[in-house]
Structure 1
Amino acid sequence: MDLNDIIFGTDSMPWWGTVIRVSILYISLIIGTRIMRERQVGILSGHNYLVAAGIVSLAAVRMVNPKSSLYEVVAIIFSYALVNTFLSYLDIKFPRQVDRIAIPLMVKGKLIRKNLDATHITIDNLLAQLRLKSITNLSEIQEIYLEPTGKVNALTKPAAAPPTKSQLNIPVTPPRFPEVVIYDGDVQEQSLARSGLTLQWLENEIAAAHPGKSTDSIFLAIVETNGTLYISTGQAAQP
């Protein structure tokens, strides 16, 4: 067994040769995905899906076939990536010619049966997608579109839209992400600083919620979006 056998394949491949081949193919897949950039992962258009399915199937077959040539599969992977990158570029320049466009399923509150039939979306499918968006009544919807990614988006009628806090003159605080300030007993000082809080404040909150406990005995503490502190010791409450 030598390097040529690993690259060009052989009838009998030892386990360590298989490990090397799989590692090379895996690294090639990662590089190919990086070439295709985030669009490949985040937005699956028609050609993106075909490329992803083709690359995965090809890599799986070659990984288990000891007679296959690594040169061929690596060349095919990068060819797939380059073709997909070129098609994505054309999709940006000429989106309506290369990729699909959003299909209206409802316009001005009226369902378009022709488009529902063409996209093979049943009423049950449509209602299920709307429930995922917390929409239960078709009468409250102005427009519905089937996006090129396969997702359904809906625009509710102005009269059915809930009022905003600004319309109700309710004071609001600037939005922020939750910050983990303690994890497994370790205080995350950078998270505390981003939240504008101090270690003394954190210790006081822990003492008030769990008398006798210190930061070392806390499994998880999170400053939530509304400024409250969630504390967990990682142990079930005593009955």
Structure 2
Amino acid sequence: MDIWLGSETLPIHGFLIRAIIVYVYIFLIVKVVGQRSMGSIDALDFIFGVVIGDILGEPLTDGSLALQGPITAAATIAGLHLTLSMIALKTPRFRRVIEDEPIILARNGVILHQQLRKVKVTLESFMMDMRLNGASDLSEVDYAVLEMNGQISVIKKSAYDSATPNDLNKQTPNKGYPSVIIEDGQIIHANLKNLGTIEWLRELIHKEGYKNPKEIFLMTIDESGKVYISPTDTKDQIKNGR
């Protein structure tokens, strides 16, 4: 009974048995309500995981605490979580309350830097996600969307979903790793020195139709020499599909 009710002098084997009981109990809870949680971690799932861990974790380290209270509380939280999940599945309006809407971070190949700031995603983190999605060449990206589970999904332009050069038995130069030359209107001199001079960069900017680096939010150049530019003022660029 000390294992269940708690004791100041709970022996080591009592903690071991408690750990087994809690593990099996959490396993059963996950089997009942956790399939959705395991698929994606949204705000509701995160709260559920933190609360359950806090409730059932303390009796494993404090032998004087009884188990029936935390187990009852965990069952209540699990039941509430399951109820909210079921209501969200059947009621779209309620779903919008507990689940975030997807947020577009890039449209028509243009990075919406105001949206990046809104969701507190840095440019470096955004570019890392692009590379993880196989879209290191940002000119191939049509849409980039921040999903409700915090991951960024990428929709490439239709032209890049068709036959690849490999399918056509054509040899194409490797694009390599794209270097950031301009970020938020500032020239990254450490990267520029490996590619060219300031004069060379200014000529390239003018050739692309921009007056100065302040008009550019992001500019990258890959090893094949391909240039990608996302402007600071995105409204006209999106409208024109640039």
- Shift, 1:13, TM fit: 0.4
Correspondence for 1:15: 12
Aligned-partner Cα distance in 2 for 1:132–1:23: 38
Number of residue-to-residue matches in the alignment:
165
Contact 1:35 1:82 in 2 (8 A): no
Correspondence for 1:33: 30
Give the match's secondary structure for 1:120.
coil
Contact 2:129 2:152 in 1 (8 A): yes
Contact 2:33 2:78 in 1 (8 A): yes
RMSD of Structure 2 on Structure 1 (CA): 2.0
Distance verdict in 2 for CA 1:125–1:78, change over 3 Å: same
Correspondence for 1:181: none
Aligned-partner Cα distance in 2 for 1:122–1:37: 31
Aligned-partner Cα distance in 2 for 1:164–1:92: 40
Q: Which moved more, 1:85-94 or 1:6-15?
A: 85-94
TM-score, normalised via structure 2 length:
0.63
- Shift, 1:162, TM fit: 4.4
- Shift, 1:147, TM fit: 0.5
The answer to whether structure 1 residue 96 and structure 2 residue 93 are counterparts is no
Give the match's secondary structure for 1:153.
strand
- Shift, 1:160, TM fit: 2.8
Unaligned runs of 5+ in 1: 169-239
Which amino acid counterpart does residue 121 of structure 2 have in structure 1?
Answer: I
Aligned-partner Cα distance in 1 for 2:102–2:40: 14
Aligned-partner Cα distance in 2 for 1:35–1:108: 42
Aligned-partner Cα distance in 1 for 2:104–2:116: 9
Higher relative contact order structure (alpha carbons within 8 Å, sequence separation ≥ 6): 2
Task: Please identify runs of 4+ aligned residues in structure 1 that moved more than 4 A.
Answer: none
- Shift, 1:164, TM fit: 6.6
Which amino acid counterpart does residue 18 of structure 2 have in structure 1?
Answer: R
Give the match's secondary structure for 2:49.
helix
Aligned-partner Cα distance in 1 for 2:4–2:73: 15
Aligned-partner Cα distance in 2 for 1:163–1:139: 17
Unaligned runs of 5+ in 2: 169-242
Q: Which moved more, 1:57-66 or 1:88-97?
A: 88-97
Aligned-partner Cα distance in 1 for 2:43–2:117: 20
Give the match's secondary structure for 1:106.
strand
